[in-house]
Amino acid sequence: MTQWLAQVEELPILVLMGALGLVMLFDAVPLLGVLIPGDVAILAAVGVGRPSTGLATFAAVLAGCLAGWSLSFLVGRRYAERLRHSRIGGWIGESRWSAAEGILNHGGGRMMMVAPFLPVFNTLLPLAAGGLRMSYRRFLGCATLGAAAWAGLYLALGTASRSLAGLLPQAPSPLLVTTGVGLALAFVVLVGARRRFSALAG
């Protein structure tokens, strides 16, 4: 394990940031996004990176999220109803489709600002927004603010956790400490937002 972590840490920053961007893109795809640990990927990137790579990490997350959400939005614009009544729509569940549409109808584009913080619905809301014929310009503006807030939060948590790793005895792996502590802090920070979303969806 230690040897594998050392090899990851030695990878060029451009390779790491490219991989992070791809993970964020896949994280934005309905169904597939549920299986992709986007938050873990960000924290791991911070753990193996250096302080000077913070901006590159932020940019990779932002670009990956917006690319994935834009693809979902465009698919929703063209195929939302067909997907909704297909096998894929059955896997997602009619209740989730209805909840996503209700949230967007109630909160409009600004709901995309909190979408990154919401499990499952972070991938479904862009698809529903396309199906509801939301303006792409409005969608992209709100999605950019949401992705930036999400990336900034995890970058801050990861940086704080990496600093903590340097204070611990026996020089533990910065990647493991950053990921573990970052996830614990993120759970505390995000639980309020997820409860708020549950209330809206209900």
Q: Which DSSP string do the residues of the chain spell out, in sequence order?
A: -HHHHHHHHTS-HHHHHHHHHHHHHHHTSTTHHHHS-HHHHHHHHHHHS-GGGHHHHHHHHHHHHHHHHHHHHHHHHHHHHHHHTSHHHHHH-HHHHHHHHHHHHHHGGGGGGTGGGSTTHHHHHHHHHHHTT--HHHHHHHHHHHHHHHHHHHHHHHHHHHHHHHHSTT---HHHHHHHHHHHHHHHHHHHHHHHHHHHH-
Task: Give the pLDDT confidence of 11-65 residue by residue, as tens digits.
Answer: 667 777 888 888 888 888 876 766 777 777 777 777 766 666 778 888 988 999 8
Task: Give the pLDDT confidence of 77-132 residue by residue, as tens digits.
Answer: 888 788 887 887 777 777 777 878 887 887 777 778 887 877 777 888 888 888 88
Task: Give the pLDDT confidence of 71-89 residue by residue, as tens digits.
Answer: 989 988 888 788 887 887 7
